[in-house]
Amino acid sequence: MKELVVVSGKGGAGKTSVLAALASVAGPCVLADCDVDAADLHLIFQPQVIHREDFTGGQKARIMPDYCTACGKCEELCRFDAIWFDGPGNGRVPQTFRVDATACEGCGVCVDYCAENAIDFSPALCGQWFVSETRCGPMVHAKLGIGAENSGKLVTQVRRAAQETAHRQALDLILCDGPPGIGCPVIASLTGASLALFVVEPTVSGLHDFRRVAQLAARLNVPGLLAVNKADLNDNLTRDLEAMAVEQGIVLAGRIPYDRDVTRAQMAGKTLLEVSNGPAARGIRQVWSIVQEQLRAGAASQTSGLIQIGNSRNKPISCDHERV
């Protein structure tokens, strides 16, 4: 089974549009939206949800006002500025302490040192994940709760469910839409993947951000491909991007020209290839042919694209609340 992850470093580089377009030519595959805190792939594929599951991450502290004596120990020990002295009174004290759930990181220190056992510590609902059907095959996606933590852990859950779905339906390719940045959800998206496709625009920030995410992929031993999006906006920077890629052993997957059809497809809730045969669509087909070659070439050297968290080759790096 092969897992292709689209990342960019910088946001808004065209990851989702490119991934959706690739899904149109890839044939039978599983789609996975790993950008769990701002998921957009469902807007293109209008998935019919066939299975949904709650996702609970770590625990969160909650002070029970009836039992709080306002001693202030919790506030003193909390490293995350999550304790505020603005809870309701309870007859014994006019004001109690309160936990700001958006700041609580679930360390449990306040719980352990509360003399009154006044702090509840329950698993927090962090979001939901879904297995769905779309016109391009099954899709696994998620919605992170507002202000919830653990996006990396939810990404891992989405990838796991995508792998199980692929296995069940005997599909050998997963296309993952990755999040922007280089932090925990990106690490969770890339760890153990077969191939990373970097979608980058020829801008100074695109170049800067590409360098960092390429370094990350290299550290995680994920081979990469570069597709320059809107390549004709700046020829010099496009060449710089490609030179940097070659230097780092990243394969050039081609250039996708600027094309208004990309926005038009998004407005219509379609993939680019469903509405257009213009320059960008042709660029995508070119990218796909190279991606396919690389996936095949990788097949010889890599037996499985399953998440290999925990094996010796991919040292686990994670902000998850569990050791995997």
Contacts with other proteins, residue ranges (CB under 8 A) = 9-13, 16, 37-38, 40, 43, 58-59, 77, 79-81, 102-103, 105-109, 112-113, 144, 146-149, 151-152, 179-187, 202-205, 208-209, 212-213, 215-216, 219, 233-234, 237, 263, 266-267, 269, 316-323
Q: In which region does residue 314 sit, left (phi positive, over 0), alpha (psi from -120 to 50) or beta (all else)?
A: beta
Is the CB of 8 or the CB of 165 nearer to other proteins? Answer: 8
77/251 with CB nearer other proteins:
77
C-beta of 139: minimal distance to other proteins in Å? Answer: 16
Interatomic CA distance for residues 95 and 98, integer angstroms: 10
Whole-number minimum distance, CB 296 to other proteins, in Å? 30
Across-strand partners of 38? none
* E strand intervals along 16-118: 30-33, 48-63, 83-87, 96-99
Burial of 76 (0-12, 13-18, 19+ CB in 10 A): exposed
Rank residues 202 and 305 by Cβ distance to other proteins and give the closer one. 202
2 versus 10: smaller Cβ distance to other proteins: 10
Q: Which is nearer to other proteins, 145 or 254 (CB)?
A: 145
Give least dist CB 1 to other proteins, A.
25
Residue 93 main-chain phi, psi, to 5 deg: -125, 145
The residue type at 268: A
Stated as kind and residue range, the H or E segment containing 175 is strand 173-177
Residue the block writes with tokens 């990218």: 287
**Cα–Cα distances in angstroms (integers) from residue 47 to residues 42, 51, 123, 136, 276, in the given order:** 6, 11, 29, 10, 22
CB of residue 320 to other proteins, shortest distance in Å: 7
Q: Minimum distance from CB of 186 to other proteins (Å)?
A: 8
The nearer residue to other proteins, 50 or 204, going by C-beta atoms, is: 204
Closer to other proteins by Cβ: residue 212 or 282 = 212
Q: Which string of b and e fits 172-186 if b means at least 16 CB within 10 Å?
A: ebbbbbbbbbbebbb
CB-based contact 300:53 (threshold 8 Å): no
Q: Min. distance of Cβ 72 from other proteins in angstroms?
A: 16
Nearest distance from C-beta of residue 222 to other proteins, angstroms: 13
Lookup: tokens for 179: 């999040």
